[in-house]
Chains A and B, each alone.
Chain A
Amino acid sequence: MSATMTKATAAQEQWQGEAKGSMQLVSFQLAQEEYGIEITKVQEIILMGEITRVPQTPQYIKGLINLRSTVIPIVDLRLRFGLPEQKRTDETRIMVINVAGKTIGIIVDAVSEVLRISQEQIAPPPPTVAGLGEEYLIGLAKLENRLLILLDIDGILAEQELEKAEEIAANA
């Protein structure tokens, strides 16, 4: 397990960031695109381990893992976004994020870095980016020579909640 950052330091850094009118992001790779998630949402980053599959779940739910005696679900972000699945590589990581009171893991191709951006660097999102709808996007961050897609990870889970309700209805 390679926990690279703790919640405490993350919160602290964010505090510092806010003081300067900027935000900190964790950036990661997914199918040649680079995405960013607010650092405060990220609890830790761990290596891929064995995932227990769960029946009656959508394709993108890879299953459950044991995170220090807590059972958390793992979402394959590629499948979630309708991208082709990729075999596990040495770079593949699980980002453990806290959203809406729940802890879930998301599988990403690689975690790049922690970076700080200022509000001016953020542009509103175009209707779609890399096949993703506007609803998942907070905006685009323009870095020196690349673009970072800022993900609204809450929205991703929120939709999951929606599906849950639908599924229950369907199961009935």
Chain B
Amino acid sequence: MSQDLGFQDDFLESMLGDFLDESDGLLEQLNENLFVLDDWVKALPEGANEACDADLINEMFRAAHSLKGLSAMLRLDDINLLTHKMENVFDAVRHNELFLQVDSVDLVFRSVDCLGLMIGRLRDPSQPEVQTDGITAEIQNLLESNGAQKEIQSQADAEQVFEDAQSSADETQDAASQAENTLDEINEHVEQLQAEPTNMTDSAVANSPEAPKPVEPQVDHFAGIIDETDIPANYLSIFIDECEQSLDDLSDVLLAAKDEKTVENLMITCHKIKGGAASLGLNRPAKLAHLMEDVLQELLQAKADLPEAVADALLTCTDALRTYVETLKSGDANSEAFDQAYQALVRARTTQDEAADETQEATASAEAQESADDTLSEDDIARIVELAAEDACGFVAQVIFEPELPLVELKATLVVERVNSFGHMFHCAPAEIDFETEADFTTLTIGVATELAPEEGAAKLNLEGVSRVNVIPFGAPAEEQQTEETVDTEATQEAALATADATQATPPEIQQNKPTAESAAANTTQTSTTQTPTAQTATTTPEKTTSAATSPAPAANTTPAAAATDSSTANPTPATNAPANNSAAQIEANSAPPQKRNVAKPAETLRVDIDRLDQLMNLAGQLVINKARFVQISEGLRHLLQIKSLSQSVGGAMGLLERINGDLDSASDQSGGVWMESMANHSRQLRDDLESIEREIQKLSGVRGLVSDLSEAVHQLDRAADGIQKSVMDTRMVPIGPLFGRFKRVARDLTRGTDKQVSLEISGEKTELDKRMIDELGDPLIHMVRNSCDHGIESPADRIAAGKPAHGTVNLDAFHRGNRIVIKITDDGKGIDPAKVRDKAISRGLVTEADAERMTNQQIFQLIWEPGFSTAEKVTEVSGRGMGMDIVRSKIEELNGTVDLDSVPGKGTVFTIRLPLTMAILPTLLCRINGDVFAIPVESVIEIVRVEKAELSTVRGMQTATVRGRVVSIIALADLFTWNRPPVDDFVEPDTDDVTLVVIGIDDREVGLLVHGLIGEEDIVIKSMSENYRNVEGIAGASILGDGRVSLILDVATVLQMSCRMRSTTSIEAEVTTDAENETTVELAEERIAEDSIIEAPIAEDSATGGTNAIDPEMTPTCSA
């Protein structure tokens, strides 16, 4: 067997991506659990040794373990090592060998960080290498200092075990040679069975006792091999893709002309399939591929060409695999003809040279040798059992792998994983960490604490490549307290013979007995959807099963009921676990009547480069633009084709002509004359012309029909375009939860080393955002959370002095609001002191003292967004340099979002980020202002009103209008914006009696924007201005109109701010210049200014949206960063 691991490169590379995806989730889970743990540890009295929540630790153990398993599969040694260490820690903790302290939790935190870095490095190899030595050493120290040296112990044990085993080897030598004979006999029978074209199904044999592993691979078939049932769907789909490719290759090579490379190529491909299948636990195809590989290997060694017979047999195998993959894909249960394929292979092979026999013998003797080693002395067992927790019951299992098994360490990892799936492994020799380095790795001794009966456990561990499993139960398991269950070869042989006979002789009986077994199973278990094959065997040959029970073969229980229980554990949740259904379904198809099928298709997924999705999104956007253009064109055509009036006027002209003709006729009759004659001719000609015009008009009404067809088609296009756009968007939406989750860690780290107590509360984590947006938001949010924790929340002493709970809270919330997504970061800290900000701004020259005096608090708060602005007195390692807030704002603005803050000194601060739902499409109102077309986001448009000019009033130099009882101030864009050139069309303001106002607003602030024409509502595609230029104040971006022109999108929030700013200056000027102003007006104006500039309490909004804001409205700002 070739030991090259070439399959890794292709197959594992493609799995790396999945590993990365998966690991994110696991790391996150680890982090989350750590927080719980952290809180728990912190709440402990100093130095207390208390056991913590076992479920929590188990969960973390599993996460670390999964990471370990995955990394082992991918040969990521660093990660493997670290996760293994972490696993040890969790393991020690859950056995109360180690008691967690603040320090140890911190160490775990750092380990998780380290893992994160290493995984990050897999993504981006340019990142610096991560040193894990320090951390692993620390963990080791931790474990050692706490006496939790389980690993070391177990290793010592293992050595002992092996020594003992060696000493007893001699004794068992005889038994081994006996076993050899037995095996030969079994083989004969098995071959007989295979030759028998009965309907005996795979699974009928599957759990029956005559199919123990220790037969030579040549004659083995798929009996004892059951596919894993819990394959993650994403791996399965990768395997399917990969396998299909390999099968295609196989067929190609087989069908192509043969040369010396052929055999080698075939072998490589088979190896690839085997590796892929085995790593997923699809043991049946792995086995077949393995056997194919064997055959090829022999050919290669013999330097023989590929004989036709073998080629045919290989093709049969390829087809069988293909069928198998198809069934995997469809999730349809189908019994695959592996046995037949394999028989074909065997037949082809027997025609080959005798070399095979020699190999066979060699293997057999190796096998015999192996069996000699495999007994555990009672001492060893006692020693292992001692390691188990008190009152635990379970068993010690010795897993013996097939000799020369490739990838044995992988197999062993699988076994360990298996063990962990049904119990707690407290002993493992050789230690898991040494799997890869272990030379001559053939035996794995494990101690398991489990409720499971030893036989069932043994059955579970009997994976492909395992030649035998010996189990020794301990503790107080239920009924059968059996002694050592080593291979009773005699019994096995007997059982095998008997069962073989039975199955051979009485296939109809099996069929008949099925329902009985089935109902027995149904009675004992509720979840079992599949009928266990063992039950059948048991029912058919009850007298034999007693002896079979002592054999190590899978799940040969004494009663059908027990077997049924086994099956229910083996296939835990057939309905929910899609991939499980594949194998479950296969067993089912083999044993149960077809109407019992209950299969779900595995969810097929596809990983897509996000750039492609971006491109798709872009194209969808262009489609939307083009659609708008179509709508315009068809509207235009409809207007142009007002044929009705045209045909009416032509009709009128015709009538008139008739009359003229009549008059002319009578006139010429009376007076005669050449002139009259020619007049009559002209008029007749005119009539002819008119008639042809009428005909043209008739044709035009045909065109009209076409135009309405066009409208219909455009309507369809409209719907399709919207659908595409929506689907593309949905594809990109991911929940914000994981992003928020990251900040828990930030908050924790920030408060470590200080006496601050901050907890981060998260709500709305299910809110979905565009993936790109999530990626971009990490940076700004981290700044804001830091800011809130570092500057917002005061020290416990200060908090208590201020009458607040010592424990500060920072709340992160996300929710949908109309067409926007709102993210709020709320803290209940000290708030921003406007005076401080003002002073700082003046000292930095951002505002003049006079200006600052006139500014409202809200306006002052806006100053914190300035680059380099910080009110923090000292720069901490966390924040205070004043760059953060600027970064936050520019980042949010890049996303076409806005960020606001509100703060009540002493109460807290609220940052509100508003983001568009999508980064691409925005429903807007298009209107014309001074000849330019502007798009105003519809969500900010409150209403559109037409006001008589006469009704406008001027208050302190500001125009206002009364709209439904409200006083709305009017702004002209020309006053807010500074243009560097006149409008294109030399726009002249129309001289009308009334003006159109678009009342725009966010929250409670509103202004009436003077517009000169309304175009209509349109979905526009947002084009970033900063992509090729930069952001412009008051403009949220650009978009391309249906006619191809560029229009600007108004940034309503900024426009409101600008108008606010302008108003405060205007009104003050007005105050200075016009003292004569009547008192009431002044008051009104002041009131209005106050209204406009004060920011509404953001809390009301929160509760309205159902965000679960823990903090009450007392928020406070904090500035700096």
Chain A positions within 8 Å of B, measured between CB atoms, are 50-59, 61-66, 69-73, 102-104, 164, 168-169, 171-172
Task: Say yes or no: B1028 contacts A102, CB within 8 Å.
Answer: yes
Q: Which residue of B lies closest to A60 (CB)?
A: B980
What residues on B are CB-neighbors of A56 within 8 Å? Answer: 977-978, 1032-1035
Across the interface, do B978 and A102 meet the contact criterion of CB distance under 8 Å? no
Are A52 and B1045 in contact, CB atoms less than 8 angstroms apart? yes
A55 touching B977, Cβ below 8 Å: yes
CA distance A62 to B1045 in the complex (A): 14
Contacting residue for B980 out of A53, A71, A103, A171, CB 8 A: A53
**What is the chain B residue whose CB lies nearest that of A67?**
B1028
B866: Cβ under 8 A from any A Cβ? yes
Q: Closest 4 interchain pairs by CB?
A: A55-B977, A73-B1029, A71-B1023, A52-B1046
**What residues on B are CB-neighbors of A55 within 8 Å?**
977-980, 1032, 1034-1035
- The answer for the CA separation of A77 and B444 in the assembled complex, in Å, is 78
Chain B residues closer than 8 Å to A50, beta-carbon distance: 984, 1045
- The secondary structure that dominates the B interface is loop
Query: Could you tell me if B1038 and A64 are in contact, using CB atoms closer than 8 angstroms?
Result: yes
**B1028-A69 in contact (CB<8A):** no
For residue B189, give the distance in angstroms from its CB to the closest CB of chain A.
72
Question: By the criterion CB–CB under 8 Å, are A70 and B625 in contact?
Answer: no
**Cross-chain contact A57 with B980 (CB below 8 angstroms):** yes
What's the minimum C-beta distance from B934 to chain A, rounded to whole angstroms? 10
Question: Is B1034's CB under 8 angstroms from A71's CB?
Answer: no
Contact residue among A53, A58, A103 (Cβ-Cβ distance under 8 Å from B1028)? A103
* A52 CB, min distance to chain B CBs, angstroms: 4
Q: How far is the CA of A73 from the CA of B1023 in the complex (A)?
A: 12
With contact pairs A52-B1046, A71-B1040 given, residues A58 and B622 touching in the complex (Cβ less than 8 Å)? no
Cβ contact within 8 Å between B1046 and A64: yes
Return chain B residues, CB-CB under 8 Å to A54. Answer: 1025, 1032, 1035, 1048
With the chains together, A169 CA to B863 CA distance in Å?
Answer: 11
Instruction: Determine if A65 and B1023 form an interchain contact, defined as CB atoms under 8 angstroms apart.
Output: no
Nearest-CB distance from B976 to chain A (Å)? 8
Bound-state CA distance A161–B325 (Å) is 58
- Give Cα A103 to B625, complex, Å: 22
B1044 at the interface (CB under 8 A from A): yes
Q: What's the least CB distance linking B1020 to chain A, in Å?
A: 12
Q: Are A66 and B1045 in contact (CB under 8 A)?
A: yes
Q: Please report the C-alpha to C-alpha distance between residue A66 and residue B867 in the assembled complex, in whole angstroms.
A: 32
Q: Answer yes or no: B699 CB below 8 A from chain A CBs.
A: no
| Cβ A72 vs Cβ B1028 within 8 A | yes
Closest Cβ neighbor of B933 among chain A residues: A52
Question: Known: A58-B980, A71-B1025, A172-B846. Contact between A52 and B1032, CB under 8 A?
Answer: no
Interchain CA distance A108-B507 in the complex, whole Å: 92
Contact assessment for B863 and A65 in the assembled complex, using a CB-CB cutoff below 8 Å:
no
Q: State whether B1033 touches A64 (Cβ < 8 A).
A: no
> Are A172 and B866 CB-contacts (below 8 A) given A55-B1034, A66-B1044?
yes
In the complex, B981 has a CB within 8 A of chain A: yes
Does B1027 touch A at the CB level, under 8 Å? yes
Q: Bound state CA distance, A56 and B1027, in angstroms?
A: 17
- Determine whether B319 belongs to the interface, using a CB cutoff of 8 Å to chain A: no
Query: Do B981 and A53 touch (CB < 8 A)?
Result: yes
Complex-state Cα separation, A103 to B1029, whole angstroms: 8
- In the complex, what residue of chain A is closest to B974 when comparing beta carbons? A55
Query: Given contacts A52-B1047, A57-B1032, A61-B980, is CB(A69)–CB(B625) below 8 Å?
Result: yes
Which residues of B have CB within 8 Å of A72? 1028-1029
Q: In the assembled complex, which residues on chain A have CB atoms less than 8 Å from the CB atom of B1023?
A: 69-71
Q: How far is the CA of A101 from the CA of B981 in the complex (A)?
A: 28
B494 is an interface residue with CB less than 8 A from chain A? no
A69–B1035 contact, CB under 8 A?
no
Alpha-carbon gap, A71 to B1025, bound state (A): 7
| Set of chain A residues within 8 Å of B1027, measured between Cβ atoms | 70-71, 102
Task: Give 13 CB contacts A-B under 8 Å.
Answer: A50-B984, A53-B932, A54-B1048, A55-B978, A56-B978, A61-B1029, A66-B1046, A70-B1027, A71-B1024, A71-B1027, A72-B1029, A172-B863, A172-B866
Cα A66 to Cα B1042 with chains together (Å): 11
Find chain A residues with CB under 8 A from B984 CB.
50-51, 53
CB distance from B1035 to the nearest CB of A (A): 7
B618, B866, B1032: most-surrounded residue (chain A CB, <10 A): B1032
Interchain CA distance A87-B981 in the complex, whole Å: 14
Given A65-B1046, A69-B618, A73-B1028, A53 and B983 touching (CB < 8 A)? yes
Interface residues of B in 265-324 (CB under 8 A from A): none
Whether a CB of chain A sits under 8 angstroms from the CB of B1030 is yes
Asked if B980 contacts A59 (CB within 8 A), the reply is yes
Q: B846 and A104: CB pair below 8 A? A: no
Q: Which chain B residue shows the least CB distance to A104?
A: B1028
Complex alpha-carbon distance, A44 and B1035, angstroms: 28
Please name all residues of chain A whose beta carbon is closer than 8 Å to the beta carbon of B1024 when the two chains form the complex. Answer: 71
A164 engages B1030 (CB within 8 Å): yes
Q: Are A71 and B1035 in touch, CB under 8 angstroms?
A: no
Nearest-CB distance from B982 to chain A (Å)?
Answer: 9
Instruction: Report B845-872 residues with CB < 8 Å from chain A CB.
Output: 846, 863, 865-867
Complex: chain B residue closest to A79, CB-CB: B980
* Contact, CB under 8 Å: B1040 / A69: yes
Contact indicator A104/B979 (Cβ below 8 Å): no
- Given A57-B980, A69-B618, A71-B1040, residue A104 in contact with residue B1029 (CB < 8 A): yes
Complex alpha-carbon distance, A70 and B1024, angstroms? 9
Q: Which of B621, B978, B979, B1028 contacts A71 (CB 8 A)?
A: B1028
Residue of A54, A65, A169 with most partner-chain B CB within 10 A: A54
The residues of A that contact B978 with a CB separation of less than 8 Å are 55-56
Given contacts A52-B932, A52-B1038, contact A69 B1032 (CB under 8 A): no
Give min CB distance, A20 to chain B, whole Å. 33
Cβ distance A104 to chain B, nearest Cβ, rounded Å:
6
Contacts of A64 in B (CB 8 A): 1025, 1029, 1038, 1046, 1048
Cα of A56 to Cα of B1030 in the assembled complex, Å: 11
Given contacts A70-B1023, A73-B1029, 19 further A-B contacts (CB under 8 A): A50-B984, A52-B932, A53-B980, A54-B1035, A54-B1048, A55-B1035, A56-B1034, A59-B981, A61-B980, A61-B1029, A64-B1029, A66-B1045, A69-B622, A70-B1028, A71-B1040, A103-B1028, A168-B867, A171-B1033, A172-B863
B625 pairs with A53, CB closer than 8 A:
no
Q: Look across to chain B and name the residue whose beta carbon is closest to the beta carbon of A59.
A: B980
C-alpha gap A70/B1044 in the complex (Å): 11
Contacts of B863 in A (CB 8 A): 172
In the bound complex, what is the Cα–Cα distance between A56 and B1032 (angstroms)?
7
- Chain A residue nearest to B619 (CB atoms) is A69
Give A172 to B859 CA distance when docked, in angstroms: 11
A171 CA to B978 CA, complexed, in Å: 12
Could you tell me if A102 and B1035 are in contact, using CB atoms closer than 8 angstroms? Answer: no
Q: Which residues of B contact A59 (CB under 8 A)?
A: 980-981
Instruction: Enumerate chain A residues within 8 angstroms of B1046, measured Cβ to Cβ.
Output: 52, 63-66, 71
Residues of B within 8 A of A53 (CB): 932, 979-981, 983-984
CA separation between A103 and B846, bound complex, in Å? 33
A64 to chain B, nearest CB (A): 4
Which residues of chain A are near B1033, meaning CB under 8 Å?
Answer: 56, 171
Contacts of A70 in B (CB 8 A): 1023, 1027-1028
Closest approach, in angstroms, between the C-beta of B1056 and any C-beta of chain A? Answer: 15
Q: Which of A53, A70, A72, A73 has the most CB of B within 10 A?
A: A53
CA distance A126 to B475 in the complex (A): 96
Query: B305 to chain A: closest CB distance in Å?
Result: 50
Give bound CA distance, A55 to B1029, whole Å. 13
Count chain B CB atoms within 10 A of each CB in A50, A57, A73, A103 and give the residue with the most. Answer: A57
B491 to A: closest C-beta gap in Å: 77
Residues in A whose Cβ lies below 8 Å from that of B1047: 52
Q: Which residue of A lies closest to B1023 (CB)?
A: A71
A-side contacts of B1028, CB under 8 Å: 70-73, 102-104
Residue in A closest to B976 when the chains form the complex, CB atoms:
A55
Interface centre among B863, B977, B984, B1046 (most CB of A within 10 A): B1046
Q: Which residues of B contact A172 (CB under 8 A)?
A: 846, 863, 865-866
